[in-house]
Amino acid sequence: MAAIPSETVLSTRHYTDDLFAFRTTRPASFRFRSGEFAMLGLMANGKPLLRAYSIASPNWAEELEFFSIKVPEGPLTSRLAKIAPGDQILLKPRPTGTLVLDALLPGRTLWLVSTGTGIAPFASVARDPETYERFARVILTHTCRTQAELQYGIDVVDGIRADALLSEVVGDRLTHVASVTREDAGPGRLEGRITRLIEAGELFEATGTRPWSPDEDRVMLCGSTAMLADTRALCERAGLEEGSNAQPGRFVVEKAFVG
Q: Where on the chain is the footprint of ligand A2P (CB under 6 A)?
A: 115-116, 143-145, 181-182, 193-195, 223-224, 226-227, 230
Write down the least CB distance from residue 12 to ligand A2P, Å.
21
Choose between 170 and 234: whose C-beta lies nearer to ligand A2P: 234
Q: Can you say whether the dihedral through the CA atoms of 18, 160, 174, 137 is positive or negative?
A: negative
Write down the least CB distance from residue 181 to ligand A2P, Å.
3
The CA distance from 228 to 195, in Å, is 10
Write down the least CB distance from residue 250 to ligand A2P, Å.
20
The CA distance from 160 to 157, in Å, is 5
Reported as type and span, the H/E element at residue 145 is none
Write down the least CB distance from residue 142 to ligand A2P, Å.
9
Write down the least CB distance from residue 172 to ligand A2P, Å.
27
Instruction: Give residue 7's Cα distance to chain centre.
Output: 21
Choose between 95 and 116: whose C-beta lies nearer to ligand A2P: 116
Helix H segments across the chain? 77-80, 120-125, 129-134, 151-162, 164-170, 194-199, 202-207, 225-237
Choose between 91 and 227: whose C-beta lies nearer to ligand A2P: 227
- Beta-strand ranges (E) seen in 15-108 are 19-24, 37-44, 47-54, 64-69, 88-91
Write down the least CB distance from residue 150 to ligand A2P, Å.
10
The CA distance from 192 to 207, in Å, is 16
Q: 67: which strand partners?
A: 21
Using left for φ > 0, alpha for ψ between -120 and 50, and beta otherwise, residue 201 falls in: left
State the virtual CA torsion across 22, 28, 34, 39 in degrees, nearest 10: -60
Other C-beta atoms within 10 Å of 11: how many? 12
Write down the least CB distance from residue 223 to ligand A2P, Å.
6
Choose between 191 and 216: whose C-beta lies nearer to ligand A2P: 191
